Amino acid sequence: MSQRTPLMAGNWKMNLNHLEAIAHVQKLAFGLSDKDFEEVEVAVLPPFTDLRSVQTLVDGDKLKIRYGAQDISPFDSGAYTGEISGAMLAKLNCSYAVVGHSERRQYHGENEEVCNAKVRAAYRHGITPILCVGEPLDVRKAGAQVPHTLAQLDGALKDLPAEDAASIVIAYEPVWAIGTGEVATPDDAQEVCAAIRARLAELYDGQLADGVRIQYGGSVKSGNVAAIMSQPDVDGALVGGAALDTDEFVKIVRFRD
């Protein structure tokens, strides 16, 4: 198995203005040490309006924290009012863009076609997508979490060349666990993350699949992260609520302690 560096990413959702963002990232930088960054990649995913402030801080203080956007337009420029393009995010040195978060699927009607277009838009601008997939509660109750999640994966990766897919990050986020305090068991997370990796091997090849990082997301906290991270196919966490508490997020980054 290849060595996959865990990625701990904090999805701030629609929280923290640009001043709060600066305070938060400064506190995070003070809380983390060089050793933390040797073992784990740390990223924050602030609202669009905070990205410039975070960039200034990261560049100015040479911080090792990475950052990205919570969404990306499928289009590169033009008459798309309210959209933010990959070119704009690349200009701000964003490393990542979240694609297909369940809240965007639910409130903004994003389907596989849209996710596929957004994944492609990210790669056109050198940005790594964090592609979110995962089943709602009724699908979990019916025991169909694996086929449901793999169908989302297939749709979002349709016709994506291997040279792009090799660097993608997949976040398995069961919808029923997001923001609910109800976390998937480590075995539940492993089942679907392993199925995602197996599907990547089918779509591409085993070596590519072995190198792709698959995060778990859904009510991750310092108290449950170690058990989830102990699973062989879980390579990090996409953290919502707990990422707004800097001390808690630092503990999540230090899941091995």
Of 255, 247, 133, 105, the C-alpha closest to 197 is: 133
Question: Is 176 annotated as a binding-site member?
Answer: no
9 is a contact residue toward ligand PEP (CB under 6 A): no
Q: Please state, in angstroms and rounded to a whole number, the distance separating the CA atoms of residues 165 and 203.
A: 10
Known catalytic residue: 112? no
Residue bearing tokens 């964003």: 94
Nearest approach, Cβ of residue 234 and ligand PEP (Å): 13
Judge whether 151 and 192 are in contact, CB under 8 Å. no
Q: Which stretch binds ligand PEP (CB under 6 A): 18-26, 87-95, 196-204, 236-244?
A: 236-244
Residue 228 makes contact with ligand PEP by CB under 6 A = no
x-or-dash pattern for ligand PEP, window 167-186, by CB under 6 A? ------x----xx-------
Our answer to whether residue 173 is catalytic in this structure is yes
Shortest distance, position 29 Cβ to ligand PEP, whole Å: 22
11 labeled binding residue: yes
> Which one is catalytic: 41, 103, 135, 173?
173
125: three-class secondary structure by DSSP: coil
CB 139 within 8 A of CB 101: no
Q: Which stretch binds ligand PEP (CB under 6 A): 36-44, 53-61, 199-207, 218-226?
A: 218-226
Beta-strand ranges (E) seen in 100-161 are 128-133
Beta strands in the chain (DSSP E): 7-11, 41-45, 66-69, 96-99, 128-133, 169-172, 213-217, 236-239
Determine the 3-state secondary structure of 239 from DSSP. Answer: strand
Catalytic residues: 101, 173
Which residues make up the interface to ligand PEP (CB under 6 A)?
Answer: 11, 13, 173, 178-179, 217-220, 238-242
Residues placed in the known binding site = 11-13, 179, 219, 240-241
